[in-house]
Structure 1
């Protein structure tokens, strides 16, 4: 066992290229089934604030980057589907995962580990590590499995104009000052040098 108590042996990513990113496992807390508000009531965001949007089953939901900077993962259910919306503040990548496996919901957490400067997620059911940018599990019982849902990046003003049914993750007024900047960038300052542009793991390595 190594790296925030995850077993890195036999994985698709070389263990010596997986680094502890600063926070411990779940040191950056994922959100699960958060509250939502209509876009018109999202007074905690500016029109130019960036969001990640999902529209499965005709239902539209938006996940502000300002909130994802602090949590990196939102476990959610939308349009009858279980999904995990993820964001890596270090490389600015947003990826949504289909979070259903063998008919059961899979919940993801922040492992505190990085591979190629990109966040590694883990599923709480099997503790497999998932490469966010490669969109697949790289260690554990789920190794090699791929799960992805379509995700769109846009500005809040665009979402308000084109998606009248959009809902946004709710941020209370008491917490708004906490959602400025990214704790991940602070906690992970001074990590070993790694590629500027993350790449997918090579299963043949």
Structure 2
């Protein structure tokens, strides 16, 4: 009986130190990166990581240079590799949980490994752009605090630490209705990533 080549590719991928699990479709692979793989992604960037996997597969006689790839931290419960491979890369943070206290919100987020912004910012050292951090804060606040989805003024912006693929971060949101100002801060434990105030005019 001839062995399914797709099965062989998946098994080969699962043997790589960067990968904890893999599922293959017709023309691509969905892979769960190990911590070592996430470190390599942060250090090298997406395309160099994939180039390394292409070489690794080619050494075993598998040619996947034209394949599509999705990089995940865990496999979804209902997984259709081909559908996931055809889907666009994510643009939003993964919301893990949230809580409200006295009108303020705290959201536990994870930065997706395959975020659409990483290949362009920067290809070989992916970091979450500051403009995306601001956009996420505005979007999450609009859903919970009924604030506008766009602001007129950005004040006291501080970007202190880089947010990288797979990072876990807490987003704090507080709206000052008198001053029409949204306060946001990205932190995790004692580490402060970024913060600022996003303001609207009184007539916004």
Judge same fold: TM > 0.5, yes or no: no
Please tell me the TM-score bracket, short chain as reference. under 0.3
Normalising by structure 2, what TM-score?
0.21
Instruction: Point out which structure has higher relative CO (alpha carbons under 8 A, 6+ apart).
Output: 1
Structure whose alpha-carbon radius of gyration is higher: 2
Whose helix proportion is higher, 1 or 2?
2
